[in-house]
Each structure stands twice: as structure tokens, then as C-alpha cells.
Amino acid sequence: MSKLDRKDGHLDVVTTGKANALSVTTGLERVRFAHCALPEVDLAAIDLRVQFLGRTLAAPLLISSMTGGPSRAQAINAALAEAAQAHGIAMAVGSQRVALQGDGACGLDMSLRRYAPDIPLYANLGGSQLLEPDPLQRVQRAVAAIGADGLIIHLNPMQEALQDGGDKNWSGVLKALQGICSRLEQPVIVKEVGFGLSGAVASQLVDAGVAAIDVAGSGGTSWAAVEGALSTQAGTQRLAELFRDWGIPTAEAIMQARAAAPSIPLIGSGGIRNGLDAARALRLGADLVGTAAGILTAALQGPEAVHAAITEWKDALRLTCFGTGSRTIADLRKATLL
């Protein structure tokens, strides 16, 4: 299977919901806010604005990395960028590996800035690619290609290990990452892809000089299951199913990372499907909340569907603030839990 076909296959599998975790949840459903029957708050005046890496966002939301083959990726990226611009939220693009290798831009070029001229936009490459020759030049090209405000390095060792032809040698990635963080002008964010970041790894990333961390915990899409669905090898399929529920649940990953790195900007993602889940993640210690699969179906339908989905997220987040008597996101982070 070519890299482009694999990207389209990822979209197909994720949208069916058949690659979700089975016996593990994000843990966010166990986070319950104490209801405030006398909020003394004007719902319309609730302020969702936050600061993230020196930028002001209208809401604490990040459209997380997603991509596909060239037949769909350009339309998806355009729809996401247009909606992110309209709502004043951040956006991260999917892996730019294919685009940098000259196999099609997939909408990951400066045309993206025509749709999103003002919002924080983040480039994206895989951690294992830092082991390839001249990694600094590679990440600089990724950032320049879309006029990005920063770079996301995604860590996906379990996915690569289960992927036919995946990158299975991860020795030296941390050292290479440290070199990138010290030499790249733009801030570097490091994220998992759905298996979660532990507190120990969060500490390593802080020491390496990363600007922010995205825990991307388990409980949503399982990339083990995704790769199992795409594999033609019976042994890989069985192994992928065995590890379908591998990882650190999102709620636990957020708490571990926040305890280990109390001052670093933290993104909570992984199986976050709505604004109430987003509020729960923020209360546990996230500064920003990311979603990919939670908005993918809308992205496949076009800009208006994405607008509607983001509006629904913001409405649920605002209503959670109202129900806890929180005027701002800062207040929500201190809301009483049951």
C-alpha cells in the first residue's frame, strides 16, 4: 500500500468508528462538576478566551492533526482552516512527510494561509523522522511550507511498530528532538497520537526544551486498531487487536503530565468528543483541548459542517461554565468537582 493510499485508509477506518478503543475509556466521564444552582453569571458574558504560546485564542480549542490522500486532504484542510479562522482557534495540520517528499502537497502549502491568515497554525512531522539526514532542514521546510507559527512533533512508536513498513528504530529520537528545540526559531510542541504521554516522558520533554506538550491519551481512536485494519498480514492483525486498548487514558495522562510539568503549556486530547469533555480536560489541568476524530466527519462534509460542530463545542463549554458559576476558563479550572 502506498503512503497516499494509507493516508486515505486512515480516514476510512477512523470515520467508521470501528477502530475505537473497546475496554478502556478516556476516564473523563468520571469527572463530574458540582452543579451551581445560583451561578450569578450572565451566560452571554462568559469569556472563553485563553492565552497559548503567546497568542490569544477565542476559545481553548485546537483542531488536532488529521490528513488523508490528495483526493480528499486539500478539501479537508481548507474546511478546517476556514472554520478555525472564523472561530479564532488554533489548528495543527497532519503529517507533512508525504508533502516534503514531493508526493503531493495535499493542501499543505501556503494556500492554507489564505483560509487562515491570523490563527496559530502548526506544522507536523513524526518523531522518527528526526533520525533522518539533516532533520533541522526538514523541520524548517515543514514550517515554511505553510507559514506555521510552530512545529508539532508526533510520537507514534506503537503505531509505527504495527504498520507495514513502519519506522521501528526509535533510538536517539530524544537527543535529536533536543537539537531541534535548541535550533528551531519557532516553538516545538510534542504530542502522542492516542496512546498517551506519561509523567516521566513529560519530564524528559521539558528537559529537552519543548514549548508545550499534547498528551493525546487513549480511550478514543486506537491507532493500533487502525493499522490492524489496514494490514494484510494475519499476524499483524492479531497483534494489533491485542494492543487495541494499549495506552494511558486521557484523564490520567493529563493529571500525570500536569503533576510532572506544572508550568508547561499542556494540551489535552485523545477521545475528546464534545465541549463537556473539553471542560473536564481543562479542569484536570489542560490549557488547551484538541480534537481530530471528534470533528473529522464534519470536515469531510465541508466548511459549514465544521462551523456547526465548533459552535456546538463552544456552546457546551460555555454552558459548563454557566453551570459551575465560572465567568472565565480560569474560573472553570478551579470549579468544584464531586
DSSP 104-131: --TT-STHHHHH-SSS-EEEEEEGGGGG
Mean pLDDT of 178-198: 97
What pLDDT was estimated at residue 114? 95
Whether the predicted pLDDT of 7 surpasses 70: no
What pLDDT was estimated at residue 5? 56
179-188 confidence digits (pLDDT tens):
999 999 999 9
Confidence of residue 6 (pLDDT cuts 50, 70, 90): low
Confidence of residue 103 (pLDDT cuts 50, 70, 90): low
d(CA 23, CA 146): 39
Instruction: Tell me the three cell numbers of residue 83.
Output: 472554520
Residue 271, classified by CB atoms within 10 Å of its CB into exposed (0-12), middle (13-18) or buried (19+), is buried
94 or 243, which is more confident: 243
Mean pLDDT of 43-64: 98
130-169 confidence digits (pLDDT tens):
999 999 999 999 999 999 999 999 999 999 999 988 999 9
d(CA 123, CA 308): 25
d(CA 83, CA 91): 10
pTM: 0.94
3-332 CATH choice from 3.40.50.300, 1.10.10.10, 3.40.50.10860, 3.20.20.70: 3.20.20.70
Whether the predicted pLDDT of 70 surpasses 60: no
**Percent of the chain scoring above 70 in pLDDT:** 94
Confidence of residue 300 (pLDDT cuts 50, 70, 90): confident
Confidence of residue 327 (pLDDT cuts 50, 70, 90): very high
What pLDDT was estimated at residue 8? 60
Residue of 129, 252, 255 whose CA lies nearest to 195: 252
Backbone angles phi, psi at 258, to 5 degrees: -65, -40
203 contacts: CB under 8 Å, gap ≥ 6: 260, 261
> What is the 8-class DSSP label of residue 35?
P
What pLDDT was estimated at residue 238? 97
d(CA 48, CA 322): 11
What pLDDT was estimated at residue 204? 98
Residue 297, classified by CB atoms within 10 Å of its CB into exposed (0-12), middle (13-18) or buried (19+), is middle
Please say whether the beta carbons of 313 and 274 come within 8 A. yes
42 contacts: CB under 8 Å, gap ≥ 6: none
165 or 252, which is more confident: 252
DSSP character string of 208-220: HT-SEEE---BSS
d(CA 62, CA 288): 7
Identity of the residue numbered 134 = D
Alpha helix (H) residue ranges in the chain: 3-16, 70-87, 97-100, 111-115, 135-146, 157-162, 173-183, 199-208, 223-230, 234-242, 250-260, 275-284, 293-301, 303-323, 329-332
Whether the predicted pLDDT of 59 surpasses 90: yes
What pLDDT was estimated at residue 207? 98
Whether the predicted pLDDT of 2 surpasses 70: no
293-301 vs 70-87: helix crossing angle, rounded to 10: 100
Whether the predicted pLDDT of 108 surpasses 90: no
Domain edges within the chain: 3-332
d(CA 266, CA 289): 9
197 contacts: CB under 8 Å, gap ≥ 6: 155, 190, 191, 205, 213, 214, 215, 216, 217, 248, 253, 256, 257
